[in-house]
Amino acid sequence: MTEQQVPETLSIAEHEPGRPRAGMWKRMRQAQAVMLPLAAIAALVAYFTAVNPLFLSVDNALNIGRQSSVLLLVALAETIVILIGSIDLSVGSIVTLVGIIGASAANRFGWLAGAVVGIWIGAMVGLVNGALLTRLKVPSFLVTLGMLSILSGVANQISQGESILLESPVLSNLVNRAVLAGVPNVIWIALVVTGLLTVVAFRTRFGRYLFALGGGEIVAANAGVPITAYKLAAFVASGTICGLAGVVLTGQVGAGTPTAGGGLLLDSIAAVVMGGTALSGGIGGPHRTLLGVLVIALLGNGMDVTEVNNFTQDMVKGAVIILAVSLTIDREKYAFIK
Amino acid sequence: MTEAESVEAVAAGSALELRSVSKTYGATRALIDVSLTIPRNRVVGLVGENGAGKSTLISVINGVVLPDSGSIWINGASVRFGHPSESALHGVATVFQEQGLIPTIPVFENIFLGRERKFLRGGLLQRGRLIAEARAVLRDLEIDIEPAVLTGSLSFGQRQLVEIAKAFALSRIYPVEPIILLDEPTSALSDREIAKLFDGVARWRGKASFLFVSHRLTEVLSLCDEIVAMKDAQAIAQLPVAGIDESDLHELIVGRQRDAQYYKEDRQAPPAETVLVRANVSKVGALHDVSLTIRTGEILGIAGVLGSGKSVLARILAGSEAPDRGSVEIDGHALARHTRREAIRHGVGYVPAERLVAGVIGSHSVEWNLTLPNLGMLERTLLRLISVAGSRALTRHWVERLRIRTPGPATACGALSGGNQQKVVFAKWLAYGVRVLVLDDPGRGLDVGAKGSIYALMRDLSHDGAAILLVSDNLPELIGMSHRIVVLRDGRISARFDAPPQGKPRETDVVRAMV
- Considering the domain architecture, whether residues B337 and B454 belong to the same structural domain is answered as yes
What pLDDT score was predicted for residue A10?
35
Is the confidence at residue B401, as pLDDT, over 50?
Answer: yes
Nearest chain B Cα distance for residue A181, angstroms: 29
Name the average pLDDT for chain B: 87
Residues of chain A in contact with residue B414, where contact means CB-CB under 8 angstroms, are: 4
- Considering the domain architecture, whether residues B440 and B450 belong to the same structural domain is answered as yes
Q: In chain B, whose CA is at the least distance from the CA of A222?
A: B340
Provide the number of structural domains found in chain A: 1
- Confirm whether B441 is domain-assigned: yes
- Which domain CATH number covers A164? 1.10.3470
Residue B70 phi, psi dihedral angles, 5° rounding? 95, 175
Select from B411, B439, B95, B398 the least CA-distant residue to B294.
B439
> Using 50, 70 and 90 to split pLDDT, how confident is the model at A15?
very low
Helices (H), chain A: 24-51, 58-83, 91-109, 111-135, 140-159, 170-176, 185-203, 205-215, 217-222, 227-253, 264-275, 286-305, 310-328
Provide the number of structural domains found in chain B: 4
Max avg pLDDT among B8-22, B70-84, B381-395: B381-395
- Considering the domain architecture, whether residues B200 and B87 belong to the same structural domain is answered as yes
| Domain boundaries, position B502 | 259-347+435-459+468-515
**Most B-contacting residue of A1, A2, A3, A228 (CB-CB within 10 A), to test interface:** A3
Q: In chain B, whose CA is at the least distance from the CA of A226?
A: B341
User: Is A223's CB within 8 Å of B428's CB?
Assistant: yes
> Using 50, 70 and 90 to split pLDDT, how confident is the model at A87?
very high
What pLDDT score was predicted for residue B114?
78
Q: In chain B, whose CA is at the least distance from the CA of A16?
A: B407
Q: Which of A23, A211, A330 comes nearest B411 by C-beta?
A: A23
- Considering the domain architecture, whether residues B37 and B78 belong to the same structural domain is answered as yes
**Most A-contacting residue of B320, B379, B405 (CB-CB within 10 A), to test interface:** B405
Residues of chain A in contact with residue B367, where contact means CB-CB under 8 angstroms, are: none
- Considering the domain architecture, whether residues B274 and B329 belong to the same structural domain is answered as yes
Is the confidence at residue A11, as pLDDT, over 60?
Answer: no
- Considering the domain architecture, whether residues B339 and B265 belong to the same structural domain is answered as yes
- Confirm whether A338 is domain-assigned: no
- Confirm whether A273 is domain-assigned: yes
- Considering the domain architecture, whether residues B404 and B309 belong to the same structural domain is answered as no
Residues of chain B in contact with residue A204, where contact means CB-CB under 8 angstroms, are: 384-386
**pLDDT (tens digit per residue) in B192-219:** 778 888 888 888 888 889 999 887 788 8
Q: Looking at residue A180, what DSSP letter applies?
A: B
- Confirm whether B151 is domain-assigned: yes
Percentage of chain B with pLDDT > 90? 44
**pLDDT (tens digit per residue) in A243-286:** 999 999 999 999 999 998 888 999 999 999 888 888 888 989 99
- Which domain CATH number covers B229? 3.40.50.300
Q: Are B276 and B256 in contact (CB under 8 A)?
A: no
| Domain boundaries, position A234 | 53-326
- Considering the domain architecture, whether residues B83 and B1 belong to the same structural domain is answered as yes
Residues of chain B in contact with residue A279, where contact means CB-CB under 8 angstroms, are: none
What pLDDT score was predicted for residue A28?
54
Residues of chain A in contact with residue B428, where contact means CB-CB under 8 angstroms, are: 223
What pLDDT score was predicted for residue B12?
55
Number of Cβ within 10 Å of residue A182's Cβ equals 8
Sign of the CA dihedral running A138, A139, A140, A141? negative
Q: Quote the CA–CA distance of A98 and A258 in Å, as a whole number.
A: 10
User: Is A212's CB within 8 Å of B357's CB?
Assistant: no
What pLDDT score was predicted for residue A330?
59
**pLDDT (tens digit per residue) in B281-329:** 999 989 999 999 999 999 999 999 888 899 999 999 999 999 999 999 9
User: Is B417's CB within 8 Å of A12's CB?
Assistant: no
- Considering the domain architecture, whether residues B272 and B336 belong to the same structural domain is answered as yes
- Confirm whether B96 is domain-assigned: no
- Confirm whether B316 is domain-assigned: yes
**pLDDT (tens digit per residue) in A154-192:** 999 999 989 999 999 989 988 888 888 889 999 999 999
Of B202, B219, B253, which marks where a domain is finished? B253
- Confirm whether A83 is domain-assigned: yes
> Using 50, 70 and 90 to split pLDDT, how confident is the model at B515?
confident
**pLDDT (tens digit per residue) in A182-220:** 899 999 999 999 999 999 999 999 999 999 999 999 999
- Considering the domain architecture, whether residues B71 and B184 belong to the same structural domain is answered as yes
Is the confidence at residue A335, as pLDDT, over 50?
Answer: no
- Confirm whether B317 is domain-assigned: yes
Query: Residues B12-18: what's their mean pLDDT?
Result: 84
Query: Beta-strand (E) ranges in B148-233?
Result: 179-183, 209-213, 226-231
**Can you give the pTM of this predicted structure?**
0.77
Q: Are A230 and A206 in contact (CB under 8 A)?
A: yes
Query: Residues B39-54: what's their mean pLDDT?
Result: 85
**Most A-contacting residue of B364, B400, B430 (CB-CB within 10 A), to test interface:** B364
Q: Are A272 and A82 in contact (CB under 8 A)?
A: yes
